[in-house]
Amino acid sequence: MSSIMIPSPLPSPTQDSEKLKKAFQGLSLSHFLNLYILGHREANQRMKICQAYQQLYNESLIDRLKSELSGDFGKAMVLWAMDPPKRDAKLAKDALKKKGTVKHLSVIIEIACAPIPNHLIAFRQAYCSLYYCSLEEDIALHVDQPLRKLLVGMVSSYRYDREEVDETVAKSEADLLHDAIEKRNLDQEQVIWILSTRNRFQLKATFNCYQQDYGKPVDQDIKDCSDSDFATLLRTAVVCIDSPEKHFAEVIKSSVNGLGTDESSLTRAVVTRAEIDLLKIKEEYQKIYDTSLLDAVAKDTSGDYKKFLVALIGDGKLKWFG
């Protein structure tokens, strides 16, 4: 469900590296536009370009991009050029450094709910190798209870990755969630354990069961029950597991809403999901807000930043500069 378009035939990583080097040596915008080729390569192709570039010119492409580019465009391009597990490690570190407000911490929930369990492992490994401590240690350092135990539980999960559902478990755990919501006792161990351990299909069955038995979606009931930070993060976890496209449609909507744009959230949503489910996010955005995600982003951004996001969102209209 990737939204990016890959040229055919695909230039070799060496050819791409040579074009990038030329772009760095030139000064005009048209040269920089060549950089967009990084916007039309999948993650493993980009990693090969990074390696080829390092070998050819004995410098880090990421560092060069950091020094050459600035502003929102530069930040977005650097994030795009990074290896996904390292990118997520950087996003998590940034979130923790920002004194752990609930909006930033939801980034960690997003990453922890990645549908591929091995990505979460690669992310924890990258975190250790980049920041010389485990993610869990950093969470404990920056985040108080009860948010801490929710975050640690979520990032420590290694979910069974096959479609295996036990309807009896779904029913009993839907009841347990309802009981916790009714008693406004959301941060109990059992709730965290269910959210951070059960496989995605099992949890979707539990959420379905909840809606059937109690009339409203569980994320709605959590929202109505409390506006505490814990409830907000718990709801994020539910939505990220049940429908990540809904979560990211909400993130993009709130980042372009009102006066000014929240560029860091917008960049994160578009860059990290471009190769995962951005096509689904576009459909969901259209469904919820009855407007086009591409139009919304294009209306709220400008210049190279706008062109880059539009290239990632994939309108099929961008001129190919390769």
Q: Which residues bind a copy of itself (CB under 8 A)?
A: 117-118, 121, 124-125, 128, 132-137, 140, 145, 149, 152, 156-162, 164, 189, 193, 197-199
The closest alpha carbon to 119, from 239, 244, 258, belongs to 244
Identity of the residue, 37 or 155, whose beta carbon is nearer to a copy of itself in the bound complex: 155
Identity of the residue, 49 or 122, whose beta carbon is nearer to a copy of itself in the bound complex: 122
Q: How far is the CB of 294 from a copy of itself (least distance, A)?
A: 39
Residue 246: C-alpha distances to residues 10, 254, 281, 301 (Å): 33, 12, 7, 22
Q: How far is the CB of 187 from a copy of itself (least distance, A)?
A: 12
Residue with tokens 């996010």: 281
Q: What is the DSSP letter of 261?
A: -
Q: How far is the CB of 158 from a copy of itself (least distance, A)?
A: 5
Identity of the residue, 126 or 276, whose beta carbon is nearer to a copy of itself in the bound complex: 126
Q: How far is the CB of 25 from a copy of itself (least distance, A)?
A: 39
C-alpha distance across the termini of the chain, in Å? 24
Q: How far is the CB of 157 from a copy of itself (least distance, A)?
A: 7
H/E stretch holding 171 reads helix 167-182
Identity of the residue, 59 or 161, whose beta carbon is nearer to a copy of itself in the bound complex: 161
Give the SS3 label for residue 190.
helix
CB atoms within 10 A of CB 302: 12
Two structure tokens written together for 38:
């990084």
Q: Are 318 and 306 in contact (CB under 8 A)?
A: no
Q: How far is the CB of 93 from a copy of itself (least distance, A)?
A: 14
* Full DSSP string of 31-71: HHHGGGGGGGS-HHHHHHHHHHHHHHHSS-HHHHHHHH--H
Residue 5 CB partners (closer than 8 Å, separation 6+): 40, 314, 316
Q: Are 92 and 134 in contact (CB under 8 A)?
A: no
Identity of the residue, 59 or 167, whose beta carbon is nearer to a copy of itself in the bound complex: 167
Identity of the residue, 6 or 128, whose beta carbon is nearer to a copy of itself in the bound complex: 128
Q: How far is the CB of 161 from a copy of itself (least distance, A)?
A: 7
Identity of the residue, 157 or 226, whose beta carbon is nearer to a copy of itself in the bound complex: 157
